[in-house]
Copies of this chain bind each other. A is one copy, B any other.
């Protein structure tokens, strides 16, 4: 990515000293990961993408985990690492949707054929192999997810939207028609994956960007926890169900075959 000389650091070939004050952080993120400078449109989409999963309250397991962690070990870096580690299969990880989009596009999108027919073939395959399609559904939204639609509007306006994004929407149409659930939305993680695929990011990079996007909220939460000076935070007894069995060690050891 970078090389270091006695008097400067070169990031993807550009002097770091020159980049500071010229590129926004979101543009620098694009440069480091994709290896080339973004266009103004790509930069605008990066800003929107990095703001799209900012939301982080105590509904997110990583934030809760980070706050408990720093109540024992009052360290910002420990808290950030802990929150990062809670991103995975069930939350904050667009890589599954990204992989599905890229693989299904390669396998089923035939140029020159109607996109909806291709998408129906993809859905047949998905249902036959009992796969789940990532990026569909939301606990609160029906028919459309407004954040996903805001992202789409920006991607369209900035010229980043492409055939692979249309493909994901076609797959979504085919799926909701087939299973008879017209109100099932493309959620913001799915839309993120579609747009980032169009921009050339790999699935692992998408998850990296989602974690990056969540970092400012985690910094704020960890900072608040550190300033609270709560030590050794524990779950209140009333929300935990402890087993209260008492056992006899000597008797049970003898029963397990140990001599006295």
Give the B-binding residues of A (Cβ under 8 A).
1-4, 6-26, 28-29, 32-33, 35-41, 44, 46-48, 50-52, 54-62, 64-66, 68-69, 71-78, 80-82, 84-93, 95, 140-141, 146-147, 150-151, 153-154, 202, 204-205, 207-209, 211-213, 215-224, 226-227, 231-236, 239-240, 242-247, 249, 252-253, 256-258
Contacts and interface: CB of A to CB of B under 8 A. Distances in A.
A223 B243 contact: no
Oligomer copy total: 4
Contact of A219 (B32, B224, B243, B252): B32
A58 B20 contact: no
Among A25, A39, A227, A257, which residue has the most Cβ atoms of chain B within 10 A? A25
Contact of A4 (B59, B82, B92): B59
Nearest to A1: B220
B219 A209 contact: yes
Among A41, A84, A89, A141, which residue has the most Cβ atoms of chain B within 10 A?
Answer: A84
